[in-house]
Amino acid sequence: MTESAQLRVVNPVAMPSSGGPDAATAPAAKRPGPLDGKTVALYWNGKQHGPDALARTRELLAERYRDIRFVELIGELGGTNRYLSQGQLETLERTVDVVVATSADCGSCTSWLMRDLCELERRGIPAVGYTAAIFAEDARFSIDTFGVPDACPVIVPECFSNKTTDEIGMMVEQALPTVIDCLTIDRSARADGDLPAFEHMVLDSAPELMFDGTDLMDAFDALQAAFVRNKWSDGLPLIPPTRAKVRAMVEAAGREGDEVVGLFAPGFGIGTVEKIAANAVMAGCRPEAMPVIMAMTECILEPSIGLRTFAMSTGPQAPVVLVSGPIADEIGMNHGVCALGPGSVSQVNVAIGRALRLIMMNVGLSYPGISDMDTIGTPMKFSACVAENEDRTPWEPWRVQQGFGLSESTVTVNVPYGMTEFFDFQNSEPEKLIETWATLTSQSCGTPSAGAWLIKKDAPLEAGYPFHGKFSNLLLMAPDHAAVFAAAGWTPADIRQAIHRETKIPFRKLMLNQAPEAFVASHPELLWLLDAPDTLVTVNPSPECFEFFVVGASAGRSQFCFGGTNSVTKRVVRPDNQRGLD
């Protein structure tokens, strides 16, 4: 008789809410028919070479339609990636008949342009947006989650970025029939309640999943294979989220399993405590880490950190998790040698960081090739989590610097584009350390945030990353480097001021990879720089763009995490404290 076994696990994949928090499903706008005598808005979202596409569109439509009129505009909010303000939407609603928009040629900008299209369609304005073919599924995913499934991305073969004017013009010419059809012929709305259907995304509403095998190890292998096939895996073996393990994690959170913590972008996945717990189990976390994981999820739900943007970006943005306070030692986190891993000494760190990635994938529905469109990727996306080396921090602990109490514990999330070593064994004077470090910070191409202040207007934090323009370049500061600064009497504020002063390059170089039209639109008061291109300008808008977290062991080798979002810090709430607050 053949033996068999079954492995039953909690389903870790969240279902999407119906269109997200600000987007009930709506039909596309009624089309006006031929565009003779109509007003067409040509809307640019700030992406490179978009004006070339709109200029050719204007020429082609003007040749075809009599008395057609055009207005041109750029998104008021943001910089490298811009979107329409409420005032602009209201003006367009009053003054134009249709909108042609560009460009959807990166992961996050595709989603934000689709958001603009959906907002326009809801206001009764037919709209199309040029979208590179590789981002077609990203665009479909976004118009579904923003609640106008018949909005109109117009697919072109390639990105407009890094293309010549002639190459862009040819793509626009080929797409013109689609542009005209989408603007002039009514769209048929999909029935309310239909779930998004994507070729590469698997959703399953079952609360539990079963895997069979000849024995438990065979069933374990079946689970791994299914999760890889469904794209629910990060590519490494997963711990099965059995009911008992997930229940223990939920109990450690001190909250009900069906409590909704939030809707997680980009897919507006319904993030219950149980779904978060299941993904934490898969990452290898133990129950005592659950309060840290819950605080971590609160950080990424903070609008200012821009979960939608960094989860969908073509850039290698990856969350770095910083834990400060007594809980780090209590749960066995590493703050010394190899704190970022790998190794058994950092198992707790690695598991917590990995949990965040799995939560982003399976609760936020951020899957490679659908909504995570990273051009190359980065190993940082697997896990990046450290604890503060408080014994070697010569200033107040990180959490106190952030306004929390000494006895409290906190979690901070920052999302840099990359990490590189700041190596200096030579210098024992703080000024020399700053000069060495500035060779890393004075660059223009390592991250879109370098020089981004030149192409955007400042905005409040609630505008969300990257539109608010607040960036935190995080230094994981080696204790030996911290000691040099402290011995000279320098405070963190002194370090920020010094590195900001040294972080300058010529205006011409800082603008090499930026769209000049965006600079002109954002800073008319600085147009004199166009006639003085060798003027030294700061790479970042203010000293507050630098932060320092002391971690690691001896030797002067810090890690510079550049181009990050603004850092978000949340207090760790233990179950007994949480009950006391009810």
CA distance 268 to 43: 27
Give 349's contacts (C-beta < 8 A, 6+ positions apart): 333, 334, 339, 340, 341, 383, 385, 386, 387
The per-residue pLDDT for 197 is 47
Q: Do 549 and 503 touch, CB atoms closer than 8 A?
A: no
What integer is the mean pLDDT of 554-579? 88
Q: In what order do the strands lie in the sheet with 385-387?
A: 385-387, 320-324, 410-414, 568-571
Residues in the chain, total: 582
Q: Of 114, 119, 130, 145, which is closest to residue 57 (Cα–Cα)?
A: 130
Q: Do 417 and 563 touch, CB atoms closer than 8 A?
A: yes
pLDDT class for 467, splitting at 50, 70, 90? confident
CA-based Rg of the chain, rounded to a whole angstrom? 25
What integer is the mean pLDDT of 56-82? 93
**pLDDT tops 80 at residue 463:** no
**pLDDT tops 90 at residue 102:** yes
CA distance readout (Å), 232 to 11, 204, 224: 10, 11, 9
Q: Do 313 and 375 touch, CB atoms closer than 8 A?
A: no
**pLDDT tops 60 at residue 254:** yes
In this structure, of 43-57, 138-152, 499-513, 521-535, the range with the lowest mean pLDDT score is: 138-152
What integer is the mean pLDDT of 361-368? 95
**pLDDT tops 50 at residue 192:** no
pLDDT class for 106, splitting at 50, 70, 90? confident
The per-residue pLDDT for 1 is 46
Between 174 and 315, name the one with better pLDDT.
Answer: 174
Q: Do 384 and 319 touch, CB atoms closer than 8 A?
A: yes
**pLDDT tops 80 at residue 582:** no
The per-residue pLDDT for 215 is 95
Phi and psi at 144, nearest 5°, equal -70, -45
CA distance 540 to 469: 10
Amino acid in the structure at residue 291: P
What integer is the mean pLDDT of 425-444? 95
Helices H / strands E in the chain, number of each: 19, 21
CA distance 578 to 233: 32
The per-residue pLDDT for 444 is 79
Residue by residue, DSSP assigns 347-413 as HHHHHHHHHHHHHHHHTT---BTTTB--SS--GGGT--EEE--GGG-SSS-HHHHTT--TT--EEEE
What integer is the mean pLDDT of 572-577? 84
Q: Do 176 and 145 touch, CB atoms closer than 8 A?
A: no
pLDDT class for 577, splitting at 50, 70, 90? low
**pLDDT tops 90 at residue 158:** yes
- Which CB contacts under 8 angstroms, 24+ apart, belong to 56-65? 56/168, 56/169, 56/172, 56/173, 57/100, 57/172, 57/176, 57/179, 60/172, 60/173, 60/176, 61/35, 64/35, 64/180, 65/34, 65/35, 65/36, 65/37, 65/38
- 469 conformational bin, left if phi > 0, alpha if psi -120 to 50, beta if neither: left
Q: Using CB atoms within 10 Å of the CB of residue 268, give its burial: 0 to 12 exposed, 13 to 18 middle, 19+ buried.
A: buried
pLDDT class for 18, splitting at 50, 70, 90? low
Q: Do 538 and 546 touch, CB atoms closer than 8 A?
A: no
Sequence ranges of the chain with CATH classification 3.40.50.10350: 39-184
DSSP state of 16: B
The per-residue pLDDT for 23 is 44
DSSP state of 13: P
What is the average pLDDT score of the chain?
A: 92
Over residues 41-68, the pLDDT tens digits come to 999 999 999 999 999 999 999 999 999 9
Give the predicted TM-score (pTM) of the model: 0.92
What integer is the mean pLDDT of 515-540? 94
**Is CATH 3.40.50.10350 the classification given to domain 39-184?**
yes
CA distance readout (Å), 531 to 274, 526, 528: 59, 10, 6
The dihedral of CA 260, 264, 269, 274: what is its sign?
negative
What integer is the mean pLDDT of 486-500? 98
Phi and psi at 219, nearest 5°, equal -65, -35
Q: Of 108, 116, 77, which is closest to residue 459 (Cα–Cα)?
A: 77
CA distance 333 to 74: 47
Other Cβ atoms less than 10 A from the Cβ of 366: the count is 26
Q: What percent of the chain has pLDDT over 90?
A: 81
Structure tokens at 254: 């001190």
CA distance 472 to 543: 10
The per-residue pLDDT for 80 is 77
Q: Hey, which bits of 274-354 come out as E strands?
A: 320-324
Cα dihedral value 226, 230, 232, 238, nearest 10: 10
